[in-house]
Chain A
Amino acid sequence: MNKFILNILIYVTGFIVFIVIPVSYIPDNKEKRFIYYTKGDENKSKWIYNILTGSQNIDIAFFGASYILQSVNPLIIESELDDKVKVFNFAMPYNGRDLDYVFIKETLKNKSPKIIVLQLRPYEGRTAHPLFYELAEKEDIYTQPFIPALAPIIGLDLFLQRQLKLITPTALLPIEDIKFTKEYQNSKGYKKIDFTMEVGLLEKNRNIIVSPFLPSSVNRLEYYYGQYYLKKIYDLSLTYNVKIIFLYIPNYKDHRLPNNMDKIMKYGSIMFLPEKLVDNPIYRSDNNHLNSLGASELSKYVGCYLRSILVK
């Protein structure tokens, strides 16, 4: 047994000394990070990179997961605002404040938006976005909170994989996802879903999907990961003098207020949707997401809301 434990220790030490440390020193290459890592079904990092390094201005940018991706059509918002205001939807599927932070940081470094709109759900996600390790800067990965995501352990292989890819010639870089499908999003990053779910199914799913909030002790832990990145986003917004607005998108007929609302309101105001948008089944592609009709209504509503803010 002692020999076995000794061998394991030697092996792990060797792994850290000869692999982890040298690999972590591989120099960064942002272009490769954003363009050639196409892991994930609907990874928009390449598109986002092109927008951020292009000549277009950004006045308002939306960040979040599929709820924003399928709900916010920047073209409609632009038509509600002054034509000169440029709006983009940078949301990507799967919750992750960490990835929001990565994209916001890049956006603020490259462009000068006036407003950033963040998705808000009834409760925060408590794990890392799978693409965080691919797209974040090294320093952001090193400073990722350990609890409750156990992030450095969970993400170690992803981090090493991304670092090794940085030194792989692009022609040999194997892609993770093969898209034989057509472009799914419009030129502003909105994903259109025409499907409308049956009312009966929506009602049936309501009981399954809507779960009670977690006990307060667990809730604090759950909130910690998201809060850590919200704070960092807030700090960035102060540095770059940008306004933060939260867009609250609850599930079908879910009238609960967002969890930890008091803390969230320290960082920015919350835009609540009218009941007719939340409760009307014709706007739903499923219990969580809006369809194109719902997105159109929501975008008009958001456009009006933003207009009033811009006027102020």
Chain B
Amino acid sequence: MPFNSLGYFLFLPVVYLVFYFVGERARWSILLAASLLFYAALNVPYLLVVLVLVAVTTYGFGIWLYQADTPKVKRALLWGGIGANLLILVVMKYLPFLSENMKALSEILSLDARIQPVKIFVAIGVSYYVFQAISYLVDIYLEIEKPERHFGYFALYLAFFPKLLQGPIERAGDLIPQLKNRYEFNYDNMRFGMLLFTWGLFKKVVIADRLGLYVDAVYNDVHAFSGLPLLLATYAYAFQIYMDFSGYTDMALGSARLFNIHLTQNFNSPYLATSVIDFWRRWHISFSRWILDYIFKPLQMQWRDLKNLGTAAALMATFLVSGIWHGASWGFVIWGGAHGLFMACSVFYKPYQKKLHKALGIENTGILKIWQVFVTFNLVSFAWVFFRANSLSDALFILCNMNGTYNSTSIFKQNEYPNIVFVLIAFTFYVLYKKTCIDCVSRLFMFKYRWVFYYVLLIVIIYLKTNSRNFIYFKF
């Protein structure tokens, strides 16, 4: 049941009405039941089993961890809990990738290993679910949080339907207290949630999906193109994935807001970042905070004696994990590695870069900022090629032929240009307006004739929406 489906448009109000009319003590159970129903509706085999397995394991380990007396036992329980979660993740999502590569390796080494290819069990949402479970255990280990004793609230924290499939990745300390708060109808939250949801829908079905038409046409048949179309499709994909993912996040935040729950804002104009490090402060914020806190920082501490080299190595390792987290393929690994490499290099050249800017007299100038935004955007777009391409060979073909001679009769076929022109106008407007979506929506409420905007937004969605497509980040 994706957020942009009719099923969800009916599901959400029904859940809200039931939630509103039941007693305070039963509200958590309504949300939990709705979450399970939401996942069941996805019709993915094993998904519910995985959710229950992760919830029970993490709940148990959380309590044992808190009760453990000695640091040694605590550490063992922490690793036990993390190991159990990672095992579930690997079995459910990464076995096909591992078996494929093991098979290839055994063939290269001429080993007589009979490795059968394994079918993927569950791909949707499991990574988010497991990451939340791990952060919960680590926070208990570090005594940042106490374990949640009420299994219902704990399961709801993991499974709360608006945020599970594509995040945001919430910390227990942020979400569980909100789930326990007494619910009172809040007019502002209701209209804010509905408008944010509609805004996200617009970004998804109008902008992202329209860009997707062009991107798919080129990326699914890369050898038919050369030069400009490949470059344009790559830029288009950068915008598509942003609008797709941030659109989903807005819809998730909007849905949660109906229940007076504030989820983490996941994006902050990422393509206005002035460096790749800055990009990760603005893109998929809950995820980047997670990998920063639970992977980068421990590794950096571990390798602190190596100084800059240690930091660079920690960045590389962290973003390689980030790549693997996104999906079980070499394309994602290279995408993560590229981001790690960009940032690792910056650790070494940053001091010299600052000196150069000073010497040129362009420090803190607008021109420098524009240049940095331009370079960062291009580096990020270059990395997206590995993320989107159907295979590594396709990705390499695109990169090698992006500046080649243009070989098609026209860049756009038939009436395709209105799609692109419209999307560029909408996107430029959106990007240049530096505030986050929540700021935009909040400001709108001060506008006297906001009703006109609501109707215009609705008409634009109806008029320009395309055939329903799945969200890109659904598969993670």
Contacts and interface: CB of A to CB of B under 8 A. Distances in A.
B120 interface: no
A39 interface: yes
Interface string B208-224: 00100110111001001
Given A11-B454, A14-B455, A19-B455, A175 B416 contact: yes
B464 interface: yes
A173 B418 contact: yes
A176 B464 CA distance: 9
Interface stretch (A153-161, A200-208, A217-225): A153-161
Contact of A180 (B185, B217, B415): B217
Contact of B465 (A4, A11, A157, A180): A157
A25 interface: no
A139 B467 CA distance: 24
Contact of B413 (A19, A171, A180): A180
Contacts of B11: none
A164 B413 contact: no
B418 A164 contact: no
Contacts of A142: none
Nearest to A153: B6
Contact of B224 (A160, A170, A178, A180): A180
B118 interface: no
A7 B463 CA distance: 24
A276 interface: no
B449 interface: no
Nearest to B185: A1
A171 B415 contact: yes
Contacts, number: 73
B455 A175 contact: no
A172 B415 CA distance: 7
B465 A174 contact: no
B226 to A, nearest CB: 13
Contact of B190 (A4, A40, A165, A177): A4
B343 to A, nearest CB: 36
Interface size class of B (residues with CB under 8 A): 20 to 34
Contacts of A38: 414
A40 B413 CA distance: 16
A174 B462 contact: no
A11 B217 CA distance: 39
A84 interface: no
B418 A172 contact: yes
A18 B187 contact: no
B221 A174 contact: no
Given A15-B458, A164-B462, A174 B191 contact: no
A174 B459 contact: no
B466 interface: yes
Interface string A65-78: 00000000000000
Interface string A16-34: 0011000000000000000
Contacts of B459: 19, 164
A56 B302 CA distance: 80
Interface string B187-201: 100110000000000
A179 interface: yes
A23 to B, nearest CB: 9
Contact of A157 (B210, B214, B414, B462): B462
B265 interface: no
A161 to B, nearest CB: 5
Nearest to A10: B451
Contacts of A11: 451, 454
A178 B217 contact: yes
Contacts of A170: 415
Contacts of B419: 174-175
Interface in B443-469: 451, 454-455, 458-459, 462-467
A3 interface: yes
A171 B412 CA distance: 13
Contacts of A18: 455
A4 B187 contact: yes
Contacts of B221: 180-181
Nearest to B205: A157
Given A177-B213, A180-B217, A15 B415 contact: no
Contacts of A174: 210, 415-416, 418-419, 422, 464
B415 A4 contact: no
A160 B413 contact: no
Contacts of A172: 415, 418
A120 to B, nearest CB: 27
Nearest to A178: B217
Interface in B5-27: 6
B213 A173 contact: no
B237 to A, nearest CB: 15
Contact of B415 (A3, A14, A175, A179): A175
A89 B466 CA distance: 27
Nearest to A171: B415
Contacts of B463: 160-161, 164-165
Interface in A159-203: 160-161, 164-165, 170-181
B463 to A, nearest CB: 5
A285 to B, nearest CB: 20
A180 B179 CA distance: 50
Nearest to A39: B467
B6 A176 contact: no
Contact of A161 (B190, B224, B451, B465): B465
Contacts of B413: 178-180
B213 A176 contact: yes
A113 B416 CA distance: 37
Given A15-B455, A173-B418, A176-B467, A160 B213 contact: no
B14 to A, nearest CB: 14
Interface string B403-420: 000000000011110110
A309 B191 CA distance: 65
Contacts of A171: 415
Contacts of B454: 11
Contacts of A130: 467
Nearest to B221: A180
14 contacts: A3-B187, A4-B187, A4-B191, A19-B455, A130-B467, A154-B6, A157-B462, A164-B459, A172-B418, A175-B419, A176-B466, A179-B413, A180-B413, A181-B221
Given A174-B416, A178-B414, 9 more contacts: A4-B185, A4-B190, A14-B451, A161-B462, A164-B459, A170-B415, A175-B419, A178-B216, A178-B217
Interface of A: 1, 3-4, 7, 11, 14-15, 18-19, 36, 38-40, 130, 153-154, 157, 160-161, 164-165, 170-181
Interface of B: 6, 185, 187, 190-191, 210, 213-214, 216-218, 221, 224, 413-416, 418-419, 422, 451, 454-455, 458-459, 462-467
Leading 9 A-B pairs by shortest Cβ distance: A178-B217, A174-B418, A174-B419, A164-B463, A175-B415, A1-B185, A160-B462, A157-B462, A180-B217
